[in-house]
Structure 1
Amino acid sequence: MGDGIGRYRGTESKLAQWLRRRPKRDAAGDQNDREKLLLAVAAAGLPLAPAAYPVGYSCSCERIGCPTPARHPVSFAWQTQSTTDRAQVERWARNEPRANFITATGMVHDVLDVPLSAGRAALDRLLAEGVDVGPVAAFPDGVGDGGRMLFFTATRGTPEDEDEWWPCELDCHPETMDEHPGLRWHCRGSYVLVPPARLPGDEDAHPAVTWVRGPEHALPDPLNLLEALTDACARHAAARESEDGEDDAAHEIAWPLTR
């Protein structure tokens, strides 16, 4: 009996009619949205360069055992290649419609990179306290380290003494420091993915890396965010240790890695 329901005029449900009329996913529209988001990042002054993209569960670089699939620049010259030039970003976006993009840190901005749950808690606290928070991006759970949240800040500036710079290796791995468990500070010599970006396994899905707060927000002083972020990271690490019986947070995969 049920097989005949909706086959005759006037008996088709409104939901079925809507599903039948619903437009299919517009690939051109997706590309236009992607290009607009990338141009907004460039307009905010954050230098961009093309990055690898997912091919199924692998990386477009075809490197066997790529340690950071779809999360690294295409060119070894990414630092000098990075640009905010609108025309160049448009060319890259149109010529490489599947490419992810990275932004080089330490030129205009730094990024404080924390576990996703810690980032959510810190963001709630910062906004409740009325602190000016800049752009924030998020990676989902299930990317190898439980998800991450990226807080974009002003850079610490170019010091008169070049020796005052922290090396990138420290900026990307400060979770080894007891006072900053799980926190990575990306500055000169480092980079992060920018939305919209896809990760292995979701190349035909919606972007996995998305804006929580867009690049239209002004870049804050990183020191204004640091206390809330380090407190949230410490609580995150303590919770992980109590749940698992050991400090697994200290062993999370940190990236970018040297290619």
Structure 2
Amino acid sequence: MAGKSRLSEWVRRRTEGASGAPRAAEPDLRRDPLVRAAATAGFPVAPAAHPANFGCSCERIGCPIPAVHPVSLAWQTQASTDMDKIDHWLRTDPLANFVTATGIAHDVLDVPAEAGRLAIERLIADGATLGPVAARADRLLFFTETRGNPADEDEWWPCELDSHPETAEEHPGIRWHSRGSYVLLPPSRLPSGHTVEWLPQHDLDLPLPDPLPVLDVLSDACAQFSYEPEREPATWLR
């Protein structure tokens, strides 16, 4: 119980305690080993934009999604676990954030932080399998096994919202990142001053769980906070 309380308090500090000031443009020394660890775990990664000049490092004037999108429009084919390619990206831009493409080696269940905190407490109390979990500002990212290419295509639900992580503010409920989507990897930096972080004792050392039991708990937790699902649960669980 003490460990559960400490974990919940850490998540609360991470998601509520940002200063709101952009960080100085200095390399995060944790980035390279964390990105390499993700690739070693089988997660395809690709370089992403980063905060710059109170906005985004990309060339788009007035970028509407600063520092949360891949650098290349071809990120789905670019994403790789090849260490030589990854080392080249890391050397080329020491400030770049990185994303991981979902629906290949893993999926991600992405929920509002308050619902995610409640779900973590319930999963730990029930002794359920809980894999890697990352905190991104006011959202938690639950990494799971992928169901991105089932034998029965009816089991996969394409959702435009899930393919655009930047729409979370407009549609704050639970979303399932699978084929065609991505999430930022730790320790990506956001313009708000937040960084994406692995939760203590819930990093890449843990195996990926089956997504459906985790989804059940996350859905119940979101319902308690009146977050509507992005589609009918019956469609999710075919």
Shared fold per TM-score greater than 0.5: yes
| Shift in alpha-carbon separation, 1:156–1:96, aligned structure 2, 3 A | same
Aligned residue number for residue 229 of structure 1:
218
Task: Point out the structure with max Rg over C-alpha.
Answer: 1
- In the TM superposition, what is the alpha-carbon distance from 1:162 to its structure 2 partner? 4.8
Within-5 A mapping of 1:14-163: 30-31=28-29, 33-140=30-137, 147-160=138-151, 162=153
CA distance in 2, matches of 1:182, 1:162: 24
- In the TM superposition, what is the alpha-carbon distance from 1:64 to its structure 2 partner? 2.7
Aligned residue for 2:109, secondary structure, equals: strand
Within-5 A mapping of 1:3-14: none
2:209 pairs, out of 205, 215, 220, with 220
Which ranges of 4 or more aligned residues in structure 1 deviate by more than 4 Å?
161-164
- In the TM superposition, what is the alpha-carbon distance from 1:56 to its structure 2 partner? 3.5
RMSD: 2.5
Aligned residue number for residue 157 of structure 2:
166
Aligned residue for 2:62, secondary structure, equals: coil
Name the aligned partner's letter for residue 154 of structure 1.
E
CA distance in 2, matches of 1:181, 1:93: 32
Aligned residues of 2:148 and 2:156 also touching (Cα < 8 A): no
Between the aligned residues of both structures, percent identity stands at: 59
Within-5 A mapping of 1:232-251: 232-237=221-226
Aligned residues of 1:53 and 1:69 also touching (Cα < 8 A): yes
- In the TM superposition, what is the alpha-carbon distance from 1:82 to its structure 2 partner? 0.5
Name the aligned partner's letter for residue 68 of structure 1.
I
Aligned residues of 2:111 and 2:172 also touching (Cα < 8 A): no
What do residues 64-86 of structure 1 show as CA deviations (whole Å, max 9, x unaligned)?
33222100001111011101112
Count of matched residue pairs: 198
| Shift in alpha-carbon separation, 1:226–1:61, aligned structure 2, 3 A | same
2:197 pairs, out of 210, 225, 228, with 210
CA distance in 1, matches of 2:192, 2:222: 28
Aligned residues of 1:198 and 1:209 also touching (Cα < 8 A): yes
Aligned residue for 2:90, secondary structure, equals: helix
Name the aligned partner's letter for residue 67 of structure 1.
P
Aligned residue number for residue 244 of structure 1:
none
Aligned residue for 2:85, secondary structure, equals: helix
Aligned residue number for residue 23 of structure 1:
none
- In the TM superposition, what is the alpha-carbon distance from 1:181 to its structure 2 partner? 7.2
Aligned residues of 1:57 and 1:201 also touching (Cα < 8 A): no
Aligned residue for 1:188, secondary structure, equals: coil
CA distance in 1, matches of 2:215, 2:145: 13
Aligned residue number for residue 176 of structure 2:
185
- In the TM superposition, what is the alpha-carbon distance from 1:237 to its structure 2 partner? 2.2
CA distance in 2, matches of 1:109, 1:64: 33
Aligned residue number for residue 167 of structure 2:
none
CA distance in 2, matches of 1:57, 1:122: 34
Q: Does 66-75 or 155-164 show the bigger shift?
A: 155-164
TM-score, scaled relative to structure 1: 0.70
For structure 2, which runs of at least 5 residues remain unmatched after alignment? 1-25, 165-170, 231-238
- In the TM superposition, what is the alpha-carbon distance from 1:198 to its structure 2 partner? 0.2
Name the aligned partner's letter for residue 160 of structure 1.
A
CA distance in 2, matches of 1:172, 1:86: 26
Aligned residues of 1:111 and 1:151 also touching (Cα < 8 A): yes
What do residues 66-118 of structure 1 show as CA deviations (whole Å, max 9, x unaligned)?
22210000111101110111222122112110000000000111100000111
TM-score, scaled relative to structure 2: 0.76
Name the aligned partner's letter for residue 162 of structure 2.
D
